[in-house]
Structure 1
Amino acid sequence: MAGDDLKISRARFGRLLRKLRAQMGLTQQELSASSTVGQSTISDLELGKKGTQRDYVVLLDSALTAHGVLISAWDASFSEGGTSAYFREVAESEQTAIEIREYSLGLVPGLLQIEEYARGISMLARPRAEPESIDKIVAARRHRQELLDRAYPPAMTVLLDESVLLRRFHDPGIMDAQIQHLVKQSKRPRLRIQIVPLNTEGHAGLGGAFKIMEVPDTGAFVYVESQETGFVLKQPEVVASYERTFAELRSAALPVPESRAKMEEIRGDIR
């Protein structure tokens, strides 16, 4: 990780640790006593001065009753492989997000990908990559998905262009299983999956996929990604523009029950 990126990640992690400690009403000394992590280490972490070992993060997470939030943020920022440098801020923010709104034009969003699908698209995108590299990407994606199993995950609305479901792999069973997974996930109480039909006129989303995230103390930001890189956009007027586009797309999308039926229909055509 480049020096500037490392400093930024350490600062974000420090803010999260400080916020979680404040929510528990603990001083640094009290957190040190309950976690067995040195107070000087906690202070340096909160100030973004240094990194630490993952084992210490596990102890802090447990002492703060953070339910894995702190661990996930550390993994997203500092673990080896699996998460691109330009995506780290997004991966970190997912762990504390209040709401995630995502529109997908080409691929199933990472938080909803099954392992076979994630592996398939990763191999297509990186045909020369070593198997170990692909394994790390898939493992990182699977780790990100753990936030959906929390007692109170972020509220999510996912709009899928119908074309996403019509993609085919050399093994048709991959897409069959992926759609089956989407149908199952669509029944989660805080997750809405809606399909934007192919025949939608005046399509507001043809400019590309994007994700809008609402994060405490940070506000809303937009993430857009190309094949080789991604960008976080925080300018209020830009965020507002993407929010309007998302609202237009949602109004054009099928309601949740009809979206579920559409997914089952497409899945039936595969078999």
Structure 2
Amino acid sequence: MAGVRYGNPKTGWEFFGTELKRLREAAGLTQQQLGSRIFCSAAYIGQFETAIRKPQLYLAEQMDIVLGTDGLLGRLCKKLVESSPYVGYFAEAVYLEGIAVTIREFATMFVPGLLQTAAYARAVCLASRPVAPEEWIENKVAARLDRGRLLDHPTKPAFWAVLDESVLRRVVGGAAVMHEQLRHLVELVQRRRIILQVLPFGAGAPALSGMLTLMTFEDAPPVAYHEGPKTGNLLDDPAAVTHCELTYDHVRAAALSPEASLTLIRSAAEDYAR
């Protein structure tokens, strides 16, 4: 896969994968043999070794037991996870953003993180932790802006988002913040960096009731990520991902066209400027 396009969170996991392969081969095991002993597929072991996917801590600890490595892989995995600025359930989703070929999102409450301005991101963080120390807020905003640099690349990943109309109407941080945020969305669309659609209130009940992210990769199966309060689920079961993709297509079909959506976003931005 291509390297990560913001920061370089993949580097540590490449080292993990190299060490895993070295230790597995030293133990005389194939990917299939190691996978069968820790109850996962040979393909998964291969994805761990090539840093396409990150193993959960319990899997790293199981590999240590099978390979007799005295907890090395578990300690390394724990260190890499703890070095991430994101909570555990979101860290792998952020990692996968950096190596995705396509990203499709549906947002019901807020502008997706990759598209947020600094002021909007700050308002969202303050809403979630109104009495948080300033340093915590600054770190969260910096991490979110770092994610947004993914879109500095002119073409990769291809990004498509459907925003519920409530995202445009909810006043996050005040009128000036909303004006800046919506103008940022317009600018991204105008330079053909992203495709945006708006699901209008008139479309009725949406097929999706919460945030959903779909990602595809050059040499790995697609995944879906959905999030709720203080929790998130990364799905890679083919049937579950296919179901999410079909549901997303239903939402996209009910949304306004990209052209009509841009007109609505511009209009909302002008309303906030008044």
Structures share a fold, TM > 0.5? Answer: yes
State percent identity of aligned pairs: 33
| Partners of 2:151 and 2:193 within 8 A in 1 | no
Distance 1:186 1:134, change over 3 A: same
**Alpha-carbon distance in structure 1 between the residues aligned to 2:250 and 2:50:** 42
Aligned runs of 1:178-197 on 2, under 5 Å?
178-197=181-200
Give ranges in structure 2 of 5+ residues lacking alignment: 1-8, 19-47, 52-79
1:228-265: CA deviations, max 9, x gaps?
12110111111111101111111111111111100111
| Partners of 1:156 and 1:190 within 8 A in 2 | yes
Distance 1:47 1:255, change over 3 A: closer
Give yes or no for the alignment of 1:118 onto 2:121. yes
Aligned to 2:248: 246
Supply the AA of the counterpart residue of 1:130: P
**Alpha-carbon distance in structure 2 between the residues aligned to 1:266 and 1:10:** 39
Residue 102 of structure 1 and its aligned partner are, at CA, apart by 0.3
Q: In the alignment, which of 130, 145, 149 is matched to residue 142 of structure 1?
A: 145
Give yes or no for the alignment of 1:159 onto 2:156. no
Supply the AA of the counterpart residue of 1:246: Y
Distance 1:104 1:10, change over 3 A: closer
Distance 1:143 1:79, change over 3 A: farther
Distance 1:152 1:10, change over 3 A: closer
Distance 1:46 1:218, change over 3 A: closer
Supply the AA of the counterpart residue of 1:249: V
**Alpha-carbon distance in structure 1 between the residues aligned to 2:201 and 2:104:** 20
Supply the AA of the counterpart residue of 1:86: Y
Aligned to 1:13: 13
Give yes or no for the alignment of 1:133 onto 2:133. no
Aligned to 1:4: none
**Alpha-carbon distance in structure 2 between the residues aligned to 1:189 and 1:11:** 30
Pairs aligned (count): 208
Aligned to 1:69: none
Residue 82 of structure 1 and its aligned partner are, at CA, apart by 3.6
Give ranges in structure 1 of 5+ residues lacking alignment: 1-8, 19-44, 49-76
Aligned to 2:43: none
Q: CA RMSD in A?
A: 2.6
| Partners of 1:118 and 1:138 within 8 A in 2 | yes
| Partners of 1:200 and 1:252 within 8 A in 2 | yes
Q: Which SS does the other structure have where 1:100 is aligned?
A: strand
| Partners of 1:194 and 1:256 within 8 A in 2 | yes
Aligned runs of 1:52-71 on 2, under 5 Å?
none
**Alpha-carbon distance in structure 2 between the residues aligned to 1:247 and 1:12:** 36
**Alpha-carbon distance in structure 2 between the residues aligned to 1:78 and 1:202:** 38
Distance 1:178 1:46, change over 3 A: same
Aligned runs of 1:1-271 on 2, under 5 Å?
13-14=13-14, 80=83, 82-169=85-172, 171-205=174-208, 207-270=209-272, 271=274
Distance 1:79 1:173, change over 3 A: farther
**Alpha-carbon distance in structure 2 between the residues aligned to 1:136 and 1:151:** 27
